[in-house]
Amino acid sequence: MITEQMFGVLIMMMNSLSYRSIHNGAKKAPERRTGESTVVSNLRRHFVKFFAAAIVFVVLFSGMLIVQSYASESHPAPAAEGERIISVSSGDTLWEIARRVQPQGTDLREVVYEIKLRNGLSSSVLRSGQTLIVPEQMD
């Protein structure tokens, strides 16, 4: 028969064996950080977020400045002697105006290009009341 002493030893052995078998191969729990290293970790994380936000802000701000500088309306130099000033009427197009001032034997595309270049136009769209300066060579 099993005595009380043997029963106690048996229970102890079973407990130690079962404890080992259950936790055999288990990974060690990560060590908890001390208060100071947690603070340093939080500060580092916040600094990285702040730095990333600052970079995004600088990139967006720079892009807006570049777009604004190219989008600003440029004013051509005043008409020089020999150049004509034409006022755009309702329905006028750059191509019609170029055809009116086109010298004999000149390509119409070149005339349109010269008028656009002289007036700082980025497209062929005109507004009623707008003034255009026709370069001297076009007369």
| Phi/psi at 24 (5° precision) | -65, 130
List, for the chain, all residue ranges whose pLDDT scores fall below the cut of 50: 72, 139
Q: What is the pTM of this model?
A: 0.46
Please tell me the predicted confidence (pLDDT) of residue 36: 63
Per the rule left: phi > 0, alpha: psi between -120 and 50, beta: everything else, 70 is: alpha
Each residue's pLDDT tens digit, 77-87? 787 888 889 89
Please tell me the predicted confidence (pLDDT) of residue 24: 53
